[in-house]
Structure 1
């Protein structure tokens, strides 16, 4: 009997099943596995030319960071070399259940070293602010940011027009901000990322996964 939820793609540390790929069809919330895959693809492939400047934290790691103690975090984060990174991207979720990743809403927290600030991009403005601020406090000593000068800034960005696209906004905002930060794209994230581009991004991500899966078996 065929496996109805077969493995679609094994990419680095990401293992995607058919049920994960199916979430890219509207109107579905995307899960932590899709966000984790996209982050890994950005870091290993799409923006590998700037990997020394970027850190993109996986959703599963972020969930651990939220609830781990300082001594555990020291061991956990050491291999990421965060003090050397200019930009640290953190997908934020409001889930308070330590046994799983994912909850009701995703947003994006970005540490920008040159400005000594954590920027928060929330497609449902303010919804995840408290969670994002707590994450900033947890990460501050590990990015070697001076606490007295560190700022939290709620950034202007496009808002989702439905209840399910928050995770896709995180990916679209992440992709554009990396271009803005390291490829000197002049247009701001609010000028580029909107509901239409996010809907298009769903299709592009599904096509990318399908293409990578095809290449892996050829």
Structure 2
């Protein structure tokens, strides 16, 4: 089995770290990707920022087209906060409104210390079906984050005041190295969202098993990089055709995508 911790925890970024303009690579709605994020996306552990971008991407490019869906993609920072807070009801106002929500996707990290900004060595995916009262855990290197995912499930159950049954899925696709866990989270999240949940009615039964599914992490990394670079080029194009108050001055801010119109040709 590969060593999971050759470089220690490297999946979260320094909270509160100052970010120089030249470090920023792309602003996509509420996420600002850095050159560090792009570097690790090529062949290393994914930062929480990359996973947050992927969730923003799925929301704005796909989920918004399904007006009647009630699905939430919870950001990694929110999942971490939910796990660390003794009483989740005290942070209810900081979390999305889960009223009428059918499903919640939660990236799970094994960092247990709020003082270690770059803690954690493994990502997994928790999919909670509130309508069924079941939490499905997908881990590409089991048992991995089973304890953390179960703990988050208990916190969420307390928050929504509804019992949730935790299921550790034994047939989840497995990674063959120590660095692809975050990529598996992103690709499995997209598959479950687009090929399962959004393909059926909310009250219909759908299999949550990923048994037999093959995940090509290398191709997934390349696809994610291509998507980001496409947005970056589009952001640059939009900026070049906009009316700047300082013509001729090169902007130090990164290309930005903040509305569907930003992708118009």
Q: How many pairs align?
A: 208
Larger Rg: 2
Q: Aligned equivalents of 1:131 and 1:186: distance in 2?
A: 24
Offset at residue 71 of structure 1 (A): 3.9
Judge which range, 167-176 or 180-189, deviates more.
Answer: 180-189
Contact 2:55–2:75 (8 Å) recurs in 1: yes
Offset at residue 122 of structure 1 (A): 0.3
Aligned with residue 33 of structure 2, among 3, 6, 16: 16
Match of 1:37 in 2: 53
Gaps of 5+ in 2: 1-19, 201-205, 238-265
Q: Aligned equivalents of 2:119 and 2:75: distance in 1?
A: 12
Q: Aligned equivalents of 1:110 and 1:81: distance in 2?
A: 17
Match of 1:192 in 2: 213
Q: Tell me the secondary structure at the aligned position of residue 15 of structure 1.
A: strand
Q: Aligned equivalents of 2:123 and 2:208: distance in 1?
A: 24
Q: Aligned equivalents of 1:11 and 1:143: distance in 2?
A: 30
Gaps of 5+ in 1: none
Judge which range, 10-19 or 181-190, deviates more.
Answer: 181-190
- After superposition, residues 132-151 of structure 1 pair within 5 angstroms as 132-145=149-162, 147=163, 150-151=164-165
**Aligned-CA RMSD value:** 2.2
| 1:162-216 CA distance string (max 9 Å, x none) | 010000010011000002111259895333342x2x2211001001111111111
Offset at residue 46 of structure 1 (A): 2.4
Aligned with residue 72 of structure 1, among 75, 86, 90: 90
* Structure-1-length-normalised TM-score: 0.87
Q: Tell me the secondary structure at the aligned position of residue 217 of structure 1.
A: helix
Task: Give the direction of change, closer, same or farther, for the CA distance of 1:186–1:119 in structure 2 (3 Å limit).
Answer: closer
Match of 2:229 in 1: 210
- After superposition, residues 1-218 of structure 1 pair within 5 angstroms as 6-26=23-43, 28-50=44-66, 52-68=69-85, 69-77=87-95, 80-99=96-115, 100=117, 102-145=119-162, 147=163, 150-155=164-169, 156-179=171-194, 180-184=196-200, 189-194=210-215, 196=216, 198-218=217-237
| 1:112-159 CA distance string (max 9 Å, x none) | 1232100000001111111111100111133443x2xx3111112111
Q: Aligned equivalents of 2:211 and 2:181: distance in 1?
A: 15
Q: Tell me the secondary structure at the aligned position of residue 159 of structure 1.
A: coil
* Structure-2-length-normalised TM-score: 0.72
Q: Aligned equivalents of 2:138 and 2:224: distance in 1?
A: 21
Q: Tell me the secondary structure at the aligned position of residue 35 of structure 1.
A: helix
